[in-house]
Amino acid sequence: MARPYNFAAGPSTLPESVLKRIQSEIMDCGCGYSILEASHRGAVVMGMIRDLRARIRSLLNIPENYDILFCPGGGHMQFAMVPMNLLGAGTLSTYIITGSWSKAAAKEALRFGRVQTAYNGSGTRVPGDDEIEINPETSYCAYCENETVHGVEFKVPPSMEATPSVPLVADQSSNFLSRPVDVSKFGLIWAGVQKNFGVPGIAVVILRRDLLGLASNEVPMMLNYSVYSRSESVMNTPPVFALYVSHLMAQWIEEKGGLEAMNRLAIERSTIVYDAIDSMPEMYTGHVEKDSRSRMNVVFRLRDEQLTPVFVKEAAAAGLVNLAGHRSVGGLRASLYNAMPPEGAVALANFMKDFAHRHPLNVTVPVAGGN
Ligand SMILES: *Cc1c(COP(=O)(O)O)cnc(C)c1O
């Protein structure tokens, strides 16, 4: 039986070849027993972690003055680790708010000091550089590059030209390894891996080395980036299975042609679904301004909101699963991460057309200039 296309926002779809490789290796990872049974300090696991780090460095072309850490605790732990480690002796951090994830990050930072909001948006677009005002006294400026819930994505990072000494911090959880990145523009990039690069359990942290060692003595060992750096991220027993799946994902991305190819595919997939929305304005609508549309999370609604549960149910019956929007915004959301084949986007667009034919409109349509 064919597997459905899974549009879940995270944990999310994995390439079939990666799942099959997990299946084939789970009893014996090549050493006679399972990687799930191997010591985290043995050659198999340490070798895999070093190789994973090398592959991430090569995929993103990460300069040598950046370290690559693997931290347990997922995205929310980074919301705390960033201020705990980067505030240093300072008391002020800066956040660019573009949706619910950057808002959550700023809220957590308030536990550790003052927070300046450099831009406060409502989740419909990302700001232009002229709309962002960064206090030069701040310890760092954080933003979320792709808002998974609202479906807005920065095309390029905010410019730090006016405040070049302020480290830029990016949450790339939901667009990690989906396009080439100029890492030298950042002080720190982090990403929970369960959206685009594996299964829950770790966040990848890419950190300029001069930002290590700023945490105070009160910061617990497990929340201190320096401890991860010194121990090659094996201070204690790490989540080996999550590291193992990301190791397979890195190889899969390389086989597919690297980050240029990931970006081409991401644009192809998302364009197919946005074109479907735009071609049926009487049926579907999106709240995100076109220039800010995410390549990863296509968020849209039916004009007749009462049809939303019907859409979700009929789509699932047609093999297109997990299309309901986030509980906080409702509507529909199609997450189109690295592992989603373009055929999945085509199948969704065809279903949207078919659904529109089968459920003729019973609401009034705005005449012109709809969004
Ligand atoms: C999912 C997500 C998070 C939260 O990740 P958890 O691992 O569930 O804590 C944070 N930021 C972004 C952009 C996300 O997509």
Residue 368 pLDDT greater than 70, yes or no: no
User: Ligand 1 centroid vs 59 CA: distance in angstroms?
Assistant: 22
Task: Out of 173, 177, 329, 335, give the residue to mutate to test ligand 1, the one with the largest number of ligand atoms within 8 Å of its CB.
Answer: 173
Atom of ligand 1 lying closest to residue 192 CA: 7
Buried b (16+ CB within 10 A) or exposed e, 32-41: eeebeebeee
Report d(CA 239, CA 179) in Å as an integer. 26
Residue owning the nearest CA to atom 14 of ligand 1: 173
- Within 8 A by CB and 6+ apart from 47, the residues are none
- Cα separation, 102 vs 79, in Å, equals 9
Ligand 1 neighbours by CB, cut-off 6 Å: 10, 74-76, 101, 144, 148, 171, 173-174, 192, 195
At 215 the three-state DSSP class reads coil
Atom from ligand 1 closest to the CA of residue 172: 13
Which residue's CA is the closest to the ligand 1 atom numbered 4?
75
Rounded distance from Cα 106 to ligand 1 centre (Å): 13
Q: Is the pLDDT of residue 357 over 70?
A: yes
What SS3 state is found at 5?
strand
pLDDT, tens digit, 9 for 90 and up, residues 317-345? 999 999 999 998 899 999 999 999 999 99
The predicted model gives 230-249 an average pLDDT of: 97
Residue 252 pLDDT level (bands cut at 50, 70, 90): very high
The alpha carbon of 70 is separated from its chain's Cα centroid by a whole number of angstroms, namely 15
Confidence of residue 367 (pLDDT cuts 50, 70, 90): low
pLDDT of residue 153: 98
Is the separation of the CB atoms in 216 and 113 below 8 Å?
Answer: no
Closest residue to atom 10 of ligand 1, CA basis: 75
DSSP single-letter state for residue 209 = G
User: pTM score, two decimals?
Assistant: 0.96
- Catalytically active residues, by annotation: 101, 171, 195
- CA–CA gap between residue 203 and residue 54 (Å, rounded): 16
Q: 20: CA distance to ligand 1 center in Å?
A: 26
- How far away, in angstroms, is 191 Cα from ligand 1 center? 8
pLDDT value, residue 362: 58
